[in-house]
Amino acid sequence: MVVRQITVFVGLLSSLLLAGQVWAHGGGPGLDYDPCEQPVGGGYVHMASYQPQLNWSQEYCGTIPAGGVTLFVFDLAGAELQHRPVSVALVEHGGPTLASVPFAEHLSGVIDFSVLLQSGHRYRAIVAVGKGMTRYVCTFPISVSPWWVAFELPGLLALAVILGCIYYGRRLRREHLALVRKAASRDRIRAIGGA
């Protein structure tokens, strides 16, 4: 009985931890869903940001774990986008433009720049494709939050499961002790009655 309860507890805890990893890249309706990619002007724009001073290989999208120098990379997916003028602006929410790449054709299909971000601030990356009547715009929201913020919900859920298991375990123990006391009382009554 106890082994089964421990197995259920470990399974629930593992599923909560894995759920946090799935949602780290935005979650969504399926494997093809990528919140870092948006359709625009007959193709797609994929945004990735990196903080080499923290982890040179980790890619971030909408939530960046700390303030500091951040490298932004915009991939223009689709041959049509590489032959159209594209501009990118990084704007602080309610504040100034931090970086701006003017309209130009980007034959390599990649636009990148570095900028200093502040912890606790929110930003928007605005990508414009084409000019005039054929202009398309997409926006990527960005927030700079401590790394532990991503674990708040899974952590609270894990804590709730742990507290629930402790409560349930203590309740089972009380019930078991009550049954043991009843059985001991019956044995004493039988022993007294038989003497």
* Residue 62: strand pairing partners: none
The percent of residues in the chain predicted with pLDDT above 70, rounded, is 77
Q: Does 93 lie in the same domain as 43?
A: yes
**Looking at the structure, do residues 10 and 52 belong to the same domain, yes or no?**
no
- Supply the pLDDT for residue 42: 81
Map the chain to HEC letters: CHHHHHHHHHHHHHHHHHHHHHHCCCCCCCCCCCCCEEEECCEEEEEEEEECCCEEEEEECCEECCCEEEEEEEEEECHHHHCCEEEEEEEECCCCEEEEEEEEECCCCEEEEEEEECCCCEEEEEEEECCHHHCEEEEEEEEECCHHHHHHHHHHHHHHHHHHHHHHHHHHHHHHHHHHHHHHHHHHHHHHHHC
Mean predicted lDDT score pLDDT of the chain: 81
Say if residue 154 is in the same domain as residue 194: yes
Q: What is the pLDDT of residue 28?
A: 47
HSE (side-chain half, CA atoms, 13 Å) at 84: 23
Same-domain check for residues 137 and 127: yes
- The reply to whether 56 and 76 lie within a common domain is yes
pLDDT at 115 over 90: yes
Q: Clarify whether residues 174 and 193 are in a common domain.
A: yes
Split at pLDDT 50, 70, 90, the class of 9 is low
Number of domains in the chain: 2
Phi, psi of 108 (to 5 degrees): -75, -20
The reported pTM is 0.61
Per the structure, the complete domain to which residue 65 belongs is given by: 34-145
Q: Kindly indicate the confidence band of residue 140, based on its pLDDT and cuts at 50, 70 and 90.
A: very high
pLDDT at 13: 52
Angle at the Cα of 18 from the Cα atoms of 170 and 155, rounded to 5 degrees: 50
CATH number at residue 50: 2.60.40.1930
What value does the mean pLDDT take over residues 18-29? 46
Is 103 found in the same domain as 27?
Answer: no
Q: Indicate whether 104 and 59 sit together in one domain.
A: yes
Mean pLDDT for 92-109 is 93
Average pLDDT over residues 117-144: 92
The backbone region for 3, taken as left when phi is positive above 0, alpha when psi lies in -120 to 50, beta otherwise, is: alpha
d(CA 135, CA 139): 14
Task: Name the residue with higher pLDDT: 66 or 88.
Answer: 88
Is 107 found in the same domain as 58?
A: yes
Q: Which of the pair, 171 or 194, is modelled with greater confidence?
A: 171
pLDDT digits (tens, 9 = 90+) for 27-63: 444 446 677 899 987 889 999 999 988 888 889 988 8
